[in-house]
Amino acid sequence: MSFKALINLILENNPNIQEIRNSRHKPLDLLILLILNQSTSDDLADLAFKKLKLDYPDYKTILAENNPEKLTESIKICGLSKSKSVYILNTLNYLEKQNWLDLNLNFINDLSDAEALEALTQIKGIGIKSASCLLMFSFKRGTFPIDTHLFRIFKRLGNIIPTGIDLVKAHKFLQPQIQGKLAFQVHVALIELGRKVCLGKTNPKCSICYLNSICQKNFN
């Protein structure tokens, strides 16, 4: 099955997806939350973010204090807190040096999708998935983030992405093939499928999956 045909099948089975983008967080808040969300659950990332907001009045305070140990302690509930504290400081320092440190990340409005992805992924700790999520949800861009759920689904389908490529290369391979509103709809639909049906290799719910007939059942 071609990727275009897969998109049509996904949309046929998810006709009621509303194009509701991020409204809970300012863009910079979402970027920090995406760092906290790496290799952990949404719930733990949310708790770490709330603690961060309690411990620091604003991001300039984090920069002024430049205390990775305190920052690590603040976000420890989400795991990998030492690395994530470094990534947060890297991000804030980078944005400040570029004169881009504001809650709305207004600099992105002057950049194309490709330029914004390039700028954001220059920051150690911001990968193409996080950058794509930020652009999709905060700026209504047509980027197509490939997270672990989507990557797992595409690998199981067999012929959607080349065999053996990693998540970053999968993003670069698929992004040119889907744009705009479609990217958002397909991303949201597959996130739901990956969370509720196309689960890890020990418990996929194949019998209720609308992609079952085209799946190659590669559960590695």
Domain boundary among 121, 139, 157: 139
Q: What is the pLDDT of residue 85?
A: 97
219 inside domain:
no
Cα distance between residue 42 and residue 33, in whole Å: 9
Q: Answer yes or no: is pLDDT of 174 > 90.
A: yes
Cα distance between residue 27 and residue 74, in whole Å: 21
* 89 and 39 within one domain: yes
Q: How many domains does the chain have?
A: 2
Cα distance between residue 145 and residue 171, in whole Å: 7
Q: Model confidence over 12-32: pLDDT tens digits?
A: 999 888 766 666 799 999 999
Q: Which two tokens stand for residue 142?
A: 């047509």
109 inside domain:
yes
Mean pLDDT of 121-143: 93
* 75 and 90 within one domain: yes
Task: Supply the range of the domain harboring residue 205.
Answer: 3-17+145-214
Q: What is the pLDDT of residue 158?
A: 84
Cα 119 to Cα 72, 81, 125, 197: the distances in Å are 26, 24, 13, 35
- The b/e string for 183-198 (b: 16+ C-beta within 10 A; e otherwise) is bbbbbbbbeebbeebb
Give the rounded distance of the alpha carbon of 45 from its chain centre: 13
* 119 and 32 within one domain: yes
Q: Which two tokens stand for residue 198?
A: 């196309």
Residue 210 · residue 6 · CB < 8 Å:
no
Residue 88 · residue 71 · CB < 8 Å:
yes
Domain boundary among 139, 164, 198: 139
Average predicted confidence (pLDDT) for the chain: 92
Domain boundary among 139, 161, 181: 139
Give the residue with greater pLDDT, 139 vs 218.
139
